[in-house]
């Protein structure tokens, strides 16, 4: 009898995790956003969270934890239980921050579980209305004739818009002064207000200001123009042949998440991204649904870290 009881206990212990995975989610899910409210990460997290909540009939909580180029929020997620109830909605800045920071409190690839890419698109090259340029070539000319005069804002040291501008300046043959902020929202505010001059921002956070006439849009960073602004040239078309930088958003979780839960979240996100209203909203925001497997997302993260490490080296960029 004792042996039978021990076997039953062992079977029950093995069955419990599988049963929990079948019932996932059975309690609120938290999506950590490692940046302040107002940026594209925050916007995507709230849009995605609402649709997942509607599908699961379970609350999805958005938890903003800004700081250290996104490392504070990512570190918190890396230490969470790997049960699928704590996720992180991050962007390309995760890979650029990993490229510039030598002593992160986590391994940016092995320390997490990749769940899936959500959306991808360009960044928008914009200037404040106080800057006397109307095209990318005019910006080049002004920057060369006024060395050290133009400041560019970013969402933080080592962020995607920091390193993408650094690459832009390297390829364009001029210099801009970097002014890092703790998120896209405050960086946009100061560019609009005239404290800074130039910015690369996501379509989600930047287009409303462009359409309201508060910022002047010069170019997009992807290889192709975007449907939301078809008359706006790419940076490559506008004077920097070969330039390309893509902004993406994706979900990760703590290391060791069970494969069935990862697949459950990935498939639900994929289904949500195929909804007509979701596709329309993303396109209106200037981006497109991404999707793809967890494995392809993990590999993309690894490749981009290698790419941005080269830019950091070539531009002589240092961590704060």
Residue 294 confidence (pLDDT) = 96
Residue 10 confidence (pLDDT) = 46
Residue 218 confidence (pLDDT) = 97
Count how many residues are written for the chain: 320
Tell me which of 27-31, 58-62, 171-175, 303-307 is least confident.
171-175
Q: Which two tokens stand for residue 306?
A: 């290698």
Pick the CATH number of 124-238 from 3.20.20.70, 3.60.21.10, 3.40.30.10, 3.40.190.10: 3.40.190.10
Give the integer Cα–Cα distance in Å for 69 and 74: 10
Q: What are phi and psi of 198, to 5 degrees?
A: -130, 150
Place of tokens 């916007």: 43
- The rounded mean pLDDT for the chain is 88
Residue 20 confidence (pLDDT) = 46
**Looking at the chain, which residues constitute the CATH 3.40.190.150 domain(s)?**
28-119+246-315
Confidence of residue 228 (pLDDT cuts 50, 70, 90): confident
Burial of 106 (0-12, 13-18, 19+ CB in 10 A): middle
Residue 22 confidence (pLDDT) = 63
Q: Indicate whether 21 pLDDT > 60.
A: no
**Looking at the chain, which residues constitute the CATH 3.40.190.10 domain(s)?**
124-238
Among residues 171, 164, 170, 118, the alpha carbon closest in space to that of 300 is found at: 118
Report the pLDDT averaged over residues 33-51. Answer: 86
The CATH class, in words, for 28-119+246-315 is: alpha beta
Report the pLDDT averaged over residues 283-307. Answer: 86
Residue 19 confidence (pLDDT) = 46
Q: Indicate whether 1 pLDDT > 60.
A: no
Segment 63-110, tens digit of pLDDT: 999 887 788 999 999 999 999 999 999 989 899 989 998 889 999 999
**Which strand ranges, in their side-by-side order, compose the sheet holding 29-33?**
60-64, 29-33, 86-91, 247-254, 112-121, 288-289
Q: Indicate whether 2 pLDDT > 60.
A: no
Report the pLDDT averaged over residues 4-31. Answer: 63
């Amino acid at each position: 009898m004792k042996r039978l009881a021990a076997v039953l206990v062992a079977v029950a212990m093995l069955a419990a995790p599988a049963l929990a995975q079948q019932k996932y989610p059975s309690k609120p899910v938290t999506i950590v956003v490692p940046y302040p409210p107002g940026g594209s990460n925050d916007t995507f997290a709230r849009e995605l969270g609402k649709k997942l909540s509607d599908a699961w009939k379970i609350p999805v909580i958005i938890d903003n934890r800004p700081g250290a180029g996104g490392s504070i929020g990512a570190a918190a997620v890396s230490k969470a239980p790997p049960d699928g109830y704590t996720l992180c909605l991050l962007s390309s800045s995760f890979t650029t921050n990993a490229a510039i920071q030598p002593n992160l409190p986590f391994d940016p690839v092995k320390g997490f579980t990749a769940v899936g890419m959500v959306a991808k698109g360009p960044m928008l090259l914009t200037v404040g209305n106080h800057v006397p340029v109307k095209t990318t070539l005019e910006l080049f000319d002004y920057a060369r004739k006024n060395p050290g005069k133009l400041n560019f804002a970013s969402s933080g040291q080592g962020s995607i818009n920091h390193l993408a501008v650094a690459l832009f300046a390297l390829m364009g043959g001029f210099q801009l002064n970097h002014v890092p902020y703790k998120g896209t929202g405050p960086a946009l505010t100061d560019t609009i207000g005239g404290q800074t001059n130039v910015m690369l921002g996501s379509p989600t956070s930047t287009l409303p200001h462009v359409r309201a006439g508060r910022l002047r849009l010069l170019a997009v960073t992807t290889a192709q123009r975007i449907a939301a602004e078809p008359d706006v040239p790419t940076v490559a078309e506008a004077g920097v042949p070969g330039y390309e930088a893509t902004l993406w958003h994706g979900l990760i979780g703590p290391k060791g998440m069970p494969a069935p839960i990862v697949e459950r979240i990935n498939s639900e996100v994929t289904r949500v991204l195929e909804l007509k209203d979701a596709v329309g909203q993303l396109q209106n925001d200037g981006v497109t649904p991404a999707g793809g497997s967890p494995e392809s997302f993990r590999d993309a993260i690894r490749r981009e870290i290698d790419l941005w490490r080269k830019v950091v080296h070539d531009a002589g960029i240092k961590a704060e």
